[in-house]
């Protein structure tokens, strides 16, 4: 299985990068090809609903996601929602999300924004008919050790391992479901 891991954090490094790197290693350990796409390293245009889709950066990102069997979106939570870069990325590459298995991994300062990803999950499910894992990973600053290290024996690492085992099953189901669809 080919999985694209999108780190929507616009600041290089940090906790979202730790989650993305950990997921890439876990998918590789399960025998899957994992490709990291970090928005801090690949600036994209703002979605204007028109010319942004002709931009080479948008075309390349859309093609990368189209080649994936599954997508993991890693994003920080700001103001009780995924960051604006995540929303912009989905708006730019939306066609390539259609029918994919998707998982989310989020970081936040505290546990009060735990339900913030639900709006994204609803949008991906309804707009793009994604099969979205309901077991998104939500990590707070308290889940990380000094230096943004993620303890290998901690709850978040356990949940990331589960995600790496679950998403290929969802991707297979999404493929089977797509074969049943008569029309959207």
CATH code of residue 44: 3.40.50.360
Task: Give which of 1, 38, 41 is closest to 20, Cα–Cα.
Answer: 38
Query: d(Cα 119, Cα 40) in Å, to the nearest integer?
Result: 23
Query: Residue-wise pLDDT tens for the chain (184 aa)?
Result: 999 999 999 999 899 999 999 999 999 999 999 999 999 999 999 999 999 999 999 999 999 999 999 999 999 999 899 999 999 999 999 989 999 999 999 999 988 888 999 999 999 999 999 999 988 999 999 999 988 999 999 999 999 999 999 999 999 999 888 888 665 5
Query: d(Cα 134, Cα 136) in Å, to the nearest integer?
Result: 6
Q: Per the structure, how many domains does the chain have? A: 1
Cβ–Cβ < 8 Å for 50, 81? no
Q: Say how far residue 104 (Cα) sits from the centre of its chain.
A: 5
pTM: 0.94
Domain that holds residue 13: 2-180
């Amino acid at each position: 299985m080919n999985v694209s891991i999108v780190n929507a954090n616009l600041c290089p490094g940090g906790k979202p990068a730790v989650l993305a790197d950990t997921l890439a290693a876990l998918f590789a350990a399960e025998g899957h090809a994992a490709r990291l796409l970090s928005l801090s390293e690949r600036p994209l245009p703002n979605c204007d609903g028109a010319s942004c889709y002709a931009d080479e950066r948008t075309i390349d990102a859309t093609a990368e996601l189209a080649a994936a069997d599954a997508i993991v979106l890693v994003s920080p939570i700001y103001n009780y929602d995924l960051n604006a870069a995540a929303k912009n990325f989905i708006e730019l590459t939306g066609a390539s999300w259609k029918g994919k298995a998707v998982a989310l991994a989020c970081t936040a300062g505290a546990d009060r924004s735990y339900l913030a990803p639900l709006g994204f999950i609803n949008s991906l499910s309804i707009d793009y008919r994604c099969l979205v894992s309901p077991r998104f990973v939500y990590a707070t600053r308290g889940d990380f050790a000094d230096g943004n290290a993620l303890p290998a024996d901690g709850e978040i690492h356990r949940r990331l391992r589960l995600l790496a085992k679950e998403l290929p099953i969802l991707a297979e189901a999404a493929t089977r479901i797509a074969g049943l669809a008569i029309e959207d």
